[in-house]
Structure 1
Amino acid sequence: MTDIKLTDTQRQIIEHAVQHTGGKIEWFPDNVKGGARSKVLDAMFNRALITREGEGWCVAAEGYDALGVPRPGNSAAQTAEPAQRRTRANSKQAEVIAMLKRPEGATISEICTATGWQQHTVRGTFAGAFKKKLGLEITSSKEPGRDRVYRIA
């Protein structure tokens, strides 16, 4: 349990949201109406017990902690495997990857011509999207009579 002290009203609102509405704050005690609702919501928001979700409010992690209730989705988040990144088959990124997979590879100028990108964009895509995000290994070599050639290893 945590040291966060809740008023009776705050505790009732958060408990109801956790038990009945999946964490969405939709119910208030009968004695909390009009401006009092706004004040209660503002107080809980200022203490980080609730967060905005679209037009409404939902219980934040600190709200679950204040009740001593396990947060929803913790076990699923720990056991879930990271999603595989996908690329569209008709995108410029897919076109560049196909060019780099060819046996002859591709030069930066060839990629610029095919995509309409500038040279710095191509180099940034190699370092950011391909190496860091997609985990592709890109090699380069200087061939006689040709610019530097890049390939996916």
Structure 2
Amino acid sequence: MTKLTETQTLILTRASARPGNLALPLPDGLHGAAAKMAIGRMVKLGLIEEVEANLRRNEPLWRETGDGHGTTLIATGAGLDAIGIEPVVVRTMAALRDAKPEAIAAAQRPGTKQAQLIAMLQAPEGVTIAEIAEATGWQAHSIRGAISGSLKKKLGLEVTSEKVDGRGRVYRLAGNVDPAIR
């Protein structure tokens, strides 16, 4: 596998966070000949592909092909694989919320504490602050800050909490409720 440049990684990461894995718009400062070279190399490596743009959905154009048509760029499965993101996960997360691409991409990086926190909150039985603290090594105020700031505000996730007898306050992502608790 070819080692990705910072630019290639940035393009693919942003694409993974967009509906349909759109690779456009390109990062600031990447235009003209540099953009053509970077995209040409990525197409050759099979990381992105050029497809017909859906102008009804206002998809950004890479090139105009004439007669009111054009092409756009999308990240391929191989491209998403190259940055360690499974395409199924990307589609699911993009459908769940409308957030900044950089924030979604950060949440999808495997092995991060934020990804671990999201996985714990997805459990049907939920998770307590103490359980999160034990798993991550964070203090309680940091966990509450991550939930309200990173997850709720930046990513737009709906995190619920409720008092559960014998456990205390249990947090979970909305929609992931253990039927036995209700």
TM-score by length of 2: 0.39
* Structure label with greater radius of gyration: 1
Higher relative contact order by CA 8 Å / sep ≥ 6: 1 or 2? Answer: 2
TM-score (ref. length: structure 1)? 0.46
